[in-house]
Structure 1
Amino acid sequence: MDAITERIFTETSLETTTNDDPSLLAIILDVSPQGWYNLRNTITLVDVAKSLLVFLNSHLSLNNSNQVAFLASSPLKSEFFYPHPNAKSTTVENSRISAGMYRQFKNVNEVIIEELIKFLELTSKQESLHKVNNRHSTITGAISMALTYTNRILTLDQSITTTMASAMTTASMNKSGNASSGSSGNISTTSATPMKSRILIVSASDSDDNLNYIPLMNCIFTAQKLKVSIDIAKLGFKNSSYLQQASDATNGVYLHIEDPRGIIQVLSTAFFIEPSLRPYVILPTNTQVNYKASCFLTKKPVDLGYVCSVCLCIMSKIPEDARCPACASDFDKKIIQSLLRDPQVAPKKKRKIGDIAKEDGEEPNKNGEGDLV
């Protein structure tokens, strides 16, 4: 342990480890009824929501410029809770300053609780009317919404930072009296490090069959391009191979929380570390990631299938029109015939008795040189 700590303090300087850049934390709560029903004797959705609010407040307390976002996903739809899409939310307007509580904490808590109650009531009514038990999960839509909001925040932060940097440079040059020297064309505006961002998904669903694999892979590629880590807090009794892939591909943290009653402790330790500090901390890793893919046609996991050579689309069976369902490329007919051909047993080659005798080291029988066996 001493060797690890000594190496960190000697090989890293204070400038590289100290980082007060703002950070964006987006939380996606999967409220699928089946998963939470299985955990009814252990923990409730309300208790998990309260723990997440404590986690959000802790993130806001680290830096005054930190931002948070909260989304919910159900079998019906995904929705933003905070920041509220309606800027003139009644909860925000009627929120009052309470003694001993930071106002931003109060706003976040009130908006999320109010919107969560409305969302659960609406979901229960629609499920009772339409009986949507076989709908696909909309968690990929929630990830897309979180990435879209992240991209907007990062773009806005970069433009503000660049404007402030150029204004500060111009002001410093005017103060030093070099603005009128004609060297304004050589001004170099250096912008600060952009805001860091990460996504935390809390899910209790034990089934991957209702999770769309291809939209999830598109979200993973987008998160990699934006350098957004996807953390997974998996509740329930089974691991999710698709969510494991999302976490591993984006350098996130995947944890299967066997005892959900201690979720606040897990959130405040494993998931509380900022992405900029993760290279210096030993994170819990998952070495057994199941990279099982899903069929583009049947949407089911595939152990052995076919792959399009143009777009790498995975199929469990060859389409009837002999065209790729993703890129519409025509498959080679000869290759399809060879793939669809039934296995055949090669005929056994007949050998002469004389050849067998030669292999055994004996003299061949002259009368039986032409016999076949």
Structure 2
Amino acid sequence: MSFDGSAVRAVLDGAVRKGAVHGVAALVVGRDGPLFHHAAGEADERTLFRNASMTKAVATTAALQLVEQGRLSLDATVESILPEFGRLPVLEGFDGDTPRLRPQASPATVRQLMTHTAGLGYFFTNQALLRYLALTGEPSPLSGDKRSLSVPLVHQPGTAWEYGVNTDWLGLIVEKLSGQSLGACLQQQVYGPLGMADSGFAPDAAQRERLLRVMQRQADGRLAPSVHELPAAPEWDAAGHGSYGTIHDYGRFVQAWLNDGAGLLAPATAQMALANHLGRIALPALITSAVPELSNDVPSLPVPQGWGLGFHLTLTDLPGMRSSGTADWAGVFNSYYWIDRTRGVGGILMTQVLPFFDMPVVETLMGFELAVYQQVGAVLPAA
């Protein structure tokens, strides 16, 4: 099968030429393997990227393996495995500068961790949590301090969708049940089986030399070196944001999910994970930024959407783009992926630019996806 990547190549090269990105890589994956790869600017074939929140789907896969093995139940309470979780209060507001805290009204479940409905938040997308950190001096997850996970919830469990450290707690469950660090568990259960040789939580010196530097969008649209960096020696393997790898490694993961979990999970488990698990809870129309240097506001597309176990879901066909049921997510350094099992194609676009949802990168992403589906219509029959 030949995939004419000239349109994709033009999108990436154009993005570098216009200053939208300093370095970028794209990979198109089919069920049988890679279809096309191109890197431009400061990125090349061997570049390593900070996966950031693209770590979440991989860590969730390890948890799903435990579910499949009967060692973990989706409806188990988090506190039944990690008692310290049940002691976390819920931040309801402030009385002056004093946080107003309440006990959890009902226990959060493993399923709620996987769907971001357990009540946990992120400081950079929740103003109340950001204020709590400022008032108390508690660290953020980007500090590398494990204590950062033990700040209050921002909703009662099971009442709202809120992006947060849910997957970090899920990673702690994986560690508790497997008896291994998350990095060791993923090496054994995901990275190793799929041949993701450059993926992990602690890149060595040679790998760090291959990391694409992080750049920050300035007010005038230019890119300048960023002061933001992941900690070199965090206290825990952060399932929510802590892994590194190449785009080719992540392509192997996307290919496995295109094939209903092949090499990782039974088809029934993968299909269950990619169903909508939100129930009556709605996704927000806007994820509002609390720290503009890290993220812009992220608006939701006005189309049906949901959340599976570890993945955002598009629940309608987008003309000229992805199919209904496509899974996707992204990382804060403006890296993105999608997994379209209906068409049998996945795409990954990786750069290292802040803040998240940077419009020049988002425009590059849309151009990439449109170019892919122009080709998919010609070369890949529907499943």
Shorter-chain TM-score tier: under 0.3
Larger Rg: 1
TM-score normalized with structure 1 length: 0.26
Determine which structure has the larger helix proportion and give its number. Answer: 1
Relative contact order higher in (CA < 8 Å, ≥ 6 apart): 2
